[in-house]
Structure 1
Amino acid sequence: MTICRYTTEEDWEELKRIRLAALLDAPTAFGVSHASAAAYTDEAWRDRAAGRGPARYILAFEGDTAVGIVAHVPDANRELNLIAMWVSPRQRGTPTASRLVGVVKAHGKAEGHSRILLDVAPANQRAVAFYQNQGFVFLPEWEPLESHPHILVQKMAFKV
């Protein structure tokens, strides 16, 4: 069974490993490229893992090995942005992804956020189906993916 928890500074190497694995596995699914993330210093990874910055990272663990990742970032409108969602290929189809999103939903509710937002490429049918099963709905908002501007992503929302 996977255990999902917020990262601490001591998790920085595992956070780095799984984030880079996600960026290699799905290079057009994220707003940052593998090359730019691989260039982060160890201190930057420590800061991310410790929550020193706007994003808070959550990892799903099997034993000492991270098998999934998600993060959230609050915005000025009291909404929470779900980012960096990924599970290892062998975890797909298991409850791991739902558990990760569940942690973000619980945080959003506990902190009084009005809704949780995310961006997804509608062509990524597996991700779209997963988010819809989690209660997210499409909004009529589109923007280019920062790391691949030729890909348009659409915003989805979950009312907390």
Structure 2
Amino acid sequence: MALLLVPHDDPRLLALVRAQEREVMARYGVADAGPGLGPSSTCLLATEDDDDAGCVGVAPLAPGVGEVKRMYVAPRHRGRRLAARLLAAVEEEALRRGFHALRLEAGTQQPEAVAVYERAGYQRIPCYGNFADDPSTLCFEKHLTEPQG
């Protein structure tokens, strides 16, 4: 897997974000997947054999706190722990950008994503932001530490 740092409006990234939005909207039966990636977001694009495989972004949420946004692995690339590698990579990038914690929103209809986050050490927190009162939303946080070694 190769990881590329790309701008929030990179066409290859946007194609994956649109696929992620379609999947989320279908799972929840909604017409809007919520806020996406903006100019202040740091975005990673994962490729495998010149195929766009997945993406993730981190956006500033509060001083020293970032929010993981639009984590997605294309269906044809699932089952190879790519999500875990994307999450680890965005955590490293967040540390480089001065974040000491990451938060994220997921949902009750995304058990695969929830499992990835929990395995990576994210802990449930009270929900916040646009989905604070949405019973289908789950929120998580992880305090980041510098890599050992």
Trace 1:67-146 onto structure 2 (pairs within 5 A): 67-141=53-127, 145=131
Runs of 4+ in 1 over 4 A off after TM superposition: none
More helix by share: 1
Q: C-alpha separation between the residues in 1 aligned to 2:127 and 2:135? A: 14
Does residue 1:18 correspond to 2:16, yes or no? yes
Match of 2:39 among 38, 53, 60: 53
In structure 1, runs of 5+ residues without a counterpart are 38-47
CA contact (8 A) 1:138 1:156 kept: yes
Q: Structure 1, residues 12-62: CA drift from partner, whole Å, max 9, x if none? A: 221222111222223257x9837x98xxxxxxxxxx7xxx71112111112
Amino acid aligned to 2:5: Y
Amino acid aligned to 1:20: R
What residue number does 1:158 align with? Answer: 142
The 1:153–1:97 alpha-carbon spacing in structure 2 relative to 1, beyond 3 Å, is same
Q: Structure 1, residues 101-124: CA drift from partner, whole Å, max 9, x if none? A: 111110222233221100111342
TM-score of the aligned structures, taking structure 2 as reference length: 0.78
Amino acid aligned to 2:71: M
Q: CA RMSD in A?
A: 3.0
In structure 2, runs of 5+ residues without a counterpart are 145-149
Q: C-alpha separation between the residues in 2 aligned to 1:106 and 1:137? A: 18
Match of 1:26, SS state, is helix
Q: C-alpha separation between the residues in 1 aligned to 2:31 and 2:84? A: 23
How many residues align structurally? Answer: 141
CA contact (8 A) 2:5 2:43 kept: yes
Q: C-alpha separation between the residues in 1 aligned to 2:134 and 2:101? A: 28
CA contact (8 A) 1:142 1:154 kept: no
Match of 1:141, SS state, is coil
1:7 offset after TM fit, Å? 1.1
1:142 offset after TM fit, Å? 5.3
1:76 offset after TM fit, Å? 2.8
What residue number does 2:147 align with? Answer: none
